[in-house]
Structure 1
């Protein structure tokens, strides 16, 4: 007979793998608009972050990055390989697990007692992590000024990403309210 901790761990690992696959699928909804494509990755990353506990949110995005690093075409445009980490989007990719952990951690710890405000704080901090890592690395990898990297790697994405955060929140809230995944 399985104990409850083993069952919980197995369930979390399966959900982590599922969310890594969801991020990979959402990465393929890609519109190239410059060195950083428009994708639905952010929606999937933050959906995972609002559902999974912190270490599993981190693990899920780490698995996604590792799959891409070894060449599985999980990144935007069905690409993969270590070269993606050295290219203009490398900083964004490296930030995904960290942003997922921070978002999930803040969402779970609830420093703000109002659930919506707490989730907004978690989501905005997670997105800020992706933006900061992403545009700083973009500046370095593409030999751009910080101003130019910000202009092409952050500015065009702010409004669409805020919409994606809202959608991720609403989907996560619906999933949790229906106890579809039965995560304690």
Structure 2
């Protein structure tokens, strides 16, 4: 996903699950301060390697969230690490340029970990994953040297419209997961 795709995905989520907020996940200095709540996943990038938490506040309240953040003393200050997984939460790791393929886009990812007995979170996670796939296009493995495209779409990688328009075999750039995995939406 590009930043534009992240914005679109955030809108889709908010339209379907209005109680959803997005947290810019990096340490904050004071337990009394709010987590860094944003209107969009695309705004969750205040620090290098920030992740985003997709947070359903109907499942997990702000007070619970702050209370369960990890406190750790650092040499000259105190910090609280926000959670990006658990009840009512999914973690979103942003796409980034693939260092091994200059100009190529390395995939974003959505992660989650929760008690399967937590039906509300289970339903929320399934809904978010379904919403992500709904606008995305399927991707096929491609050999960037030969241009040979795999027969079947990959079951775990998808791309949103702006990422496809900018990186799907455009000016030698590719959608990628690692040095051995390149993808295309063009069959």
Task: Report the TM-score, using the length of structure 1 for normalisation.
Answer: 0.33
Structure with the greater relative contact order (CA < 8 A, sep ≥ 6): 1 or 2? 1
Using the size of structure 2 for normalisation, the TM-score is: 0.32
Q: Which has the larger radius of gyration?
A: 2
